[in-house]
Amino acid sequence: PTQQLDLIVPRGGERLIAFTKEHARCPVIVSGRGNNFVYVHKEADLDIAIDVILNGKSKISACNAVDKVLIDKNLPNKSEFVAQLISKLKDSKIEVLGDAEVAKAHGLESITSDAIWYEEFLDYKILIGEIENNEATIAMINKYSGGHSSSIITKNESEAKTFMENVDTAAVYHNASTRFTDGGQLGLGGELAISTDKLHQRGPIGLQHLVTNKWYVHGTGQTR
């Protein structure tokens, strides 16, 4: 550019973001990728779980869409719940993939590589897997997610607190949809981006986050 820029916020795909980060001579805020997770804890309200997951796929092009669902292996009536969830997803024309356990139990196409856990689908596609417990879920999300949004479905406040404090995403939810990660929904007005960076702003960015401080000091000869 012929004039100095203070900040660039690339809005687009990962190739655009990578190009901008490589060539920019000023700070860049990464308007990050999604790949968001919902964890159905063993003490989940199953109606809430289904509503949150289906809502998470209500707009597949959004970065706050749900791509991955982790089911606690100790969930009561697990098989019936997963079968109901798969049926409702398929009714919405969503392709359902499973890890080895879920695919075998429910006749789904099984994933062939763990690399798919890193993918942001932006498509009518969702991946369901089994998970040992909350601790394992936190580790998995922190390894594979895009750092955008994650949700735990549980009636257990203590487990929700542990999840929310330890999952490293810009927004964390308890019994609510990741689709709320949006500037307008969170009261920020017009949204510029949703940052997965940690400085200077994380999560939805409104106009108020594009300004910095300037100090005006009026004196009558004070010295230090």
Identify which of 164, 143, 168 has the alpha carbon closest to the alpha carbon of residue 152.
Answer: 164
pLDDT tens-digit map of 120-172: 999 999 999 999 999 999 999 999 999 999 999 999 999 999 999 999 999 99
Prediction pTM value? 0.91
Residue 208, exposed/middle/buried by CB under 10 A (0-12, 13-18, 19+)?
A: exposed
Residue 69 to residue 51: CA distance in whole angstroms: 13
User: Is the CB of residue 30 less than 8 Å from the CB of residue 17?
Assistant: yes
Residue 66's H or E segment, with its range, is: strand 66-72
Give domain limits for the chain: 1-30, 36-180
The pLDDT of 80-109, averaged and rounded, is 97
Helices 78-91 & 46-56 angle (0-180, nearest 10) = 30
Q: Which two tokens stand for residue 122?
A: 């932006």
Kindly tell me if the per-residue pLDDT of 84 is higher than 90: yes
Task: Provide the pLDDT confidence category of residue 118 given band limits of 50, 70 and 90.
Answer: very high
Letter string b/e over residues 153-170, b meaning 16 or more CB atoms within 10 A of that residue's CB: bbebeebbeebbeebebb
SS3 124: coil
State how far the Cα of 151 lies from the Cα of 171, in Å rounded to an integer: 9
pLDDT for 149-158, tens place per residue?
A: 999 999 999 9
- With contact defined as beta carbons under 8 Å apart, do 36 and 145 qualify? yes
- Rounded mean pLDDT, 7-11: 87
Helix, strand counts (H, E) of the chain: 6, 9
Contacts of 71 (CB under 8 A, 6+ apart): 40, 78, 81, 82, 102, 128, 129, 130, 131
Closest C-alpha to 175, from 56, 35, 44: 44
The per-residue pLDDT for 207 is 86
What residues pair up with 72 in beta bridges, in sequence order? 131
Q: Tell me: domain 36-180, CATH 3.40.309.10, correct?
A: yes
